[in-house]
């Protein structure tokens, strides 16, 4: 008989607690979230925005295709004959001062002969000589390359035989003029094999068989050697100066 009031009190207490809880819940739901967050959270990055930025990068401009390597046009050296060898010898005074005057003259004559026999630009040959040996006639390179144009003896012997150049063994390559004569003939053969001057110059450096393997695989060799030679060629061209017709005086003119 005394438990009923107790149960009634408990029921009333539960209702009171439920009412307070509901009021607190409704109060929390009405709390505005548009205001500023506390200071310690204001400095935190927004991960959602960062994720979107990283996952969807803005497309950048398409990389341009590599520019085609343009070979310089060889000037008409017929306009400077018969003084071509003299002007080449003047260039050698600047770039090969350690060579004797006789050797410089012989090299200049070999360059002129290469221009006549193989239509090779003598300034291009000078650029290759500077690239290969720095005008050191005693230079030795890998593998077993010798002299100004760094020719291997077994290649030089074969080239000399085909072109009727006297061959007295590997020591022949230590003669500056003979080295240039043999090296120019070999370079001329590369131009006959590859009409593209870039491939011909690459073949002189890499060997024709390696260049052909590049081409068979669908690749075109563009070694640093080639760009360096062309840069040196531009220097020689600027120092050689413009080519103008020689003024030949008529001996019978008054």
Q: Which residues are catalytic?
A: 132
Distance CA 77, CA 244 (A): 9
CA distances for 80 relative to 59, 234, 245, angstroms:
56, 19, 6
Which residue spans within the chain are E strands per DSSP? 140-141, 145-146
Distance CA 107, CA 102 (A): 9
Distance CA 178, CA 208 (A): 22
Distance CA 24, CA 54 (A): 41
């Amino acid at each position: 008989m005394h438990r009923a009031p107790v149960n009634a009190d408990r029921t009333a207490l539960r209702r009171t607690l439920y009412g307070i809880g509901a009021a607190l819940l409704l109060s929390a739901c009405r709390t505005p979230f548009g205001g500023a967050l506390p200071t310690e959270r204001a400095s935190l990055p927004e991960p959602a925005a960062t994720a979107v930025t990283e996952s969807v990068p803005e497309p950048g401009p398409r990389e341009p295709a590599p520019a085609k390597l343009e070979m310089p046009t060889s000037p008409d050296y017929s306009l400077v004959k018969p003084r071509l060898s003299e002007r080449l010898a003047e260039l050698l005074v600047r770039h090969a001062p350690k060579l004797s005057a006789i050797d410089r003259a012989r090299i200049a004559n070999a360059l002129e002969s290469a221009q006549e026999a193989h239509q090779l630009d003598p300034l291009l040959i000078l650029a290759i000589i500077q690239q290969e040996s720095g005008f050191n006639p005693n230079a030795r390179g890998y593998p077993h390359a010798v002299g100004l144009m760094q020719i291997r003896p077994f290649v030089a012997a074969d080239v000399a035989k085909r072109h009727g150049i006297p061959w007295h063994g590997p020591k022949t390559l230590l003669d500056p003029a003979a080295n240039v004569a043999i090296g120019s003939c070999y370079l001329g053969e590369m131009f006959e094999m590859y009409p593209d001057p870039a491939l011909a110059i690459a073949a002189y450096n890499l060997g024709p068989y390696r260049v052909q393997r590049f081409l068979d695989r669908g690749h075109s060799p563009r070694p640093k050697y080639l760009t360096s030679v062309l840069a040196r060629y531009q220097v020689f061209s600027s120092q050689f100066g413009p080519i103008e017709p020689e003024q030949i005086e008529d001996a019978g003119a008054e």
